[in-house]
Structure 1
Amino acid sequence: MFLQRSAVAVARRAAVSPVVPVVRRSFAASVIRRDAKNVEPHASISQKVKTFEEIKTEEDLIGAGAAPGTVPTDLEQATGLERLEILGKMQGVDIFDMRPLDSSRKGTLDNPIVVKSAGDEQYAGCTGSPADSHIVIWLGMSRERPIERCPECGSVYKMEYIGPEDDGHGHHDHHGYEEPKTFADFVKPQYW
């Protein structure tokens, strides 16, 4: 009974639309730039975009930006490594070498699977051999400890450092930080 009364009350309060169809206007806003004809091109935008081979210093990785009043493209707004990657891809160069690792074989101590790195540390995901034999196990390698072995399948990975010998930042000491000891620190190197 209570539900019937509340349903009737709700029905009475409901807005009844008139029989005559009302044309409703949708809300739309637009912004018109009245001085668009007077926009002068930015002086540095008229410069030629440097090619991948012309990049020599970090200053070359800063773009000129987009012209005022326009939406910048990815190349116009990219700086640093992102700009270097875009310029490389425009000329068919994959600067980060995003190919998957060789999973057709199992790495051994004599013939490990080589992982190239431009940084002090690199992570590699092992899925076993043949590929997808086990779930992904992430292995961390560093310049101090370049060889890692997968605990699931035993495959050996070795980090090959390809970056600059001295990066000039002085981060090699990590301000007195010492990596925590693990069981691997107490195993003789010939058993790695």
Structure 2
Amino acid sequence: MFLQRSAVAAVRRAAPRAAARRTFVSSIVRRDASKENPPSSGPRSLLEGYKKLEDIKTTEDLLPPGAKPGTVPTDLEQATGLERLEILGKMQGIDVFDMKPLDSSRVGTLEDPIVVNSAGEEQYVGCTGCPADSHQVLWITLTREEPVARCMECGSAYKMHYIGPPDDPHAHHAENAYPRPKNMADFIKPEYANL
């Protein structure tokens, strides 16, 4: 009786699976490249019809043309703002945001710190030690007022190099109502703080 019930249960489970199986079909569309780009037109540049980085002056220059009616837009045809700036830079072989990792083959010293470029008023640096990943990530804040800081774990020194727009001498900045919070740099002896 037990074997009979288990055989019936196995048949019930197996029957719907066999009926539900389908084969996988794919199709390949082959296009003739010679018809789309006739040889008489010559090689076309990827940037043809698009502005180069040196031609971009305002945010209006970063507005895309959009896709032709009836087509799906590419990233280049629909990206705006900083994303468009990054795409245009990559097409010219320029890494606009300098995304390569920092030098972790050495420990930065106060005489020869690891330089970090920044276009803003402050920059966050994640230190993992030397060699890389020798300690947990410790986040260090570098500002224009305090451009040099050290990692509390490994002692590596980092220096912010400001590459942003120049200061406007006519701008009137409001005084900060909140004082800067204290950090470990406030407790360093003055003779060690001289850079």
TM class by shorter-chain length?
A: 0.5 to 0.7
Q: Report the counterpart of residue 155 of structure 1 in structure 2.
A: 156
Quote the Cα distance in structure 2 between the aligned partners of 1:111 and 1:162: 19
Q: Report the counterpart of residue 53 of structure 2 in structure 1.
A: 52
Quote the Cα distance in structure 1 between the aligned partners of 2:168 and 2:75: 28
Match of 2:93, SS state, is coil
Q: Report the counterpart of residue 62 of structure 2 in structure 1.
A: 61
Deviations 1:76-103 (CA, angstroms, capped at 9, x unpaired)? 1111111111001011110111111111
5 Å matches for 1:18-57?
48-57=49-58
Structure 1 residue runs without a partner (length 5+): 1-10, 12-16, 24-46
TM superposition shift of 1:186: 4.5
Q: Report the counterpart of residue 103 of structure 2 in structure 1.
A: 102
Q: Report the counterpart of residue 93 of structure 2 in structure 1.
A: 92
Greater alpha carbon shift after TM alignment, 125-134 vs 171-180: 171-180
Quote the Cα distance in structure 1 between the aligned partners of 2:173 and 2:115: 23
Quote the Cα distance in structure 1 between the aligned partners of 2:104 and 2:61: 38
**Partner AA of 2:130 in structure 1:** S
Is the 2:149–2:185 contact (alpha carbons within 8 Å) kept by the matching residues of 1?
no
Q: Report the counterpart of residue 79 of structure 1 in structure 2.
A: 80
**Partner AA of 1:91 in structure 2:** Q
Quote the Cα distance in structure 2 between the aligned partners of 1:122 and 1:105: 20
**Partner AA of 1:76 in structure 2:** E
Change over 3 Å in CA distance of 1:175–1:113 after alignment to 2: same
Change over 3 Å in CA distance of 1:65–1:98 after alignment to 2: same
Q: Report the counterpart of residue 119 of structure 2 in structure 1.
A: 118
Identity of aligned residues (%): 66
Quote the Cα distance in structure 2 between the aligned partners of 1:186 and 1:137: 19
Quote the Cα distance in structure 1 between the aligned partners of 2:150 and 2:172: 26
Deviations 1:5-52 (CA, angstroms, capped at 9, x unpaired)? xxxxxx9xxxxx9xxxx99xxxxxxxxxxxxxxxxxxxxxxx922122
Change over 3 Å in CA distance of 1:181–1:149 after alignment to 2: same
Change over 3 Å in CA distance of 1:173–1:106 after alignment to 2: farther
Q: Report the counterpart of residue 141 of structure 1 in structure 2.
A: 142
Q: Report the counterpart of residue 167 of structure 2 in structure 1.
A: 166
Change over 3 Å in CA distance of 1:154–1:183 after alignment to 2: closer
Quote the Cα distance in structure 2 between the aligned partners of 1:123 and 1:66: 38
TM superposition shift of 1:159: 0.6
**Partner AA of 1:102 in structure 2:** D
TM superposition shift of 1:191: 2.2
**Partner AA of 2:84 in structure 1:** R
Change over 3 Å in CA distance of 1:144–1:171 after alignment to 2: farther
Q: Which has the higher helix share?
A: 2
- TM-score normalised over the length of structure 1: 0.68
RMSD: 3.5
Structure 2 residue runs without a partner (length 5+): 1-8, 10-14, 21-47
Q: Report the counterpart of residue 34 of structure 2 in structure 1.
A: none
